[in-house]
Structures are given as C-alpha cells and as structure tokens.
Amino acid sequence: MEASKLISFFEEDLCIFHLRSRKKISALTEIVHHLALQKRISDERFILDMLKNRENLGSTGLGNGVAFPHGRSLAIKELTVLFARSAAGVDFEALDGKPTHVFFLILAPSDKGSETYLAILSELIGLIQKPAKLKALNETVDFPSLVGIFEGKDD
C-alpha cells in the first residue's frame, strides 16, 4: 500500500492531537466519544465495550509508545481509522510497560473489507518501526504534519 493510499484513510476530524486521558479505559472512552461527536458511530457504549473486550484478550499497546486498539463488528458500517496522540502518555498496559503516546484506532465491518483492514494495520506497523517516523508521530500536533509523516516529508 502506497503512503498516499494509507493517508486516504485518515481524516482531520478523526484526529485527536491532545488526548487528555492518562489511563487505558478513560483514553478509550475519550476516543470513542470523539467518534460519536463526529457522527462516525451510533452506539458509543457498544463500541467501547467491544474495544474493552478486545483489550481483555491482551493489550493492543504493542510497546515503543504505540497502541492499535481495533475491532470488527456488523454494527460498524464503514472502515474507520482514528489517530490520537498524548504528549503526557497513557498507562495503556503496553507490552513493554511504558506509557503509550500514539494511538491508531481501526474499526471495520466484520462482513467486508478484511483485506483493507489488515493492509492498513500492516502498513502502520511498518511505519512505526522507522525511528524517524515514530519520533515525528510523537511530536505531530496537526493534520498537515501527520500527512507529511505519511508522505515522507519528515525523512
């Protein structure tokens, strides 16, 4: 997947550059509430419960300050990707025990689009494995900067 294709899944109104929450459940609640405010989901409680259930299987905080909360459900009508950043860090029970600063929430319908869902996840994991990109994601404060990271303007 090309960078320009990947960035096409991100929208300015689905970015939180100053996540306020400091704990896992409150961060998920803040993110899901943002989706509801943007009219991307109709049932906030259902989506939050789905994400909590996924987290109970094992933290989606992979380490290096990054988490990929995700879920698939028939209640989700279209693939939705949200970017969130916390300068202070969130205790997200990450695998390395360190605070999480960058979040990529991916929600998808369970009945279609699994190839795209997995391709986005794979591309994002590849992106965060590049130290310069990860540093830039940790520092980004607006949508044009985020687009620049995907397009390679920070290299």
- Spatial distance between the Cα atoms of 73 and 75, rounded to a whole number of angstroms: 5
Which residue in 18, 33, 34, 70 is the catalytic one?
Answer: 70
Q: Is 18 exposed, middle or buried (0-12, 13-18, 19+ CB in 10 A)?
A: exposed
Residues in Cβ contact with 105 at an 8 Å cutoff, skipping those fewer than 6 apart: 31, 35, 51, 68, 69, 70, 80, 81, 82, 83, 84
Element (H, E) at 26: helix 24-37
Nearest of 33, 15, 24, 2 to residue 119 by alpha carbon: 2
Helices (H) then strands (E): counts for the chain: 6, 6
Reply yes or no on whether 34 is catalytic. Answer: no
Residues designated as active site = 70
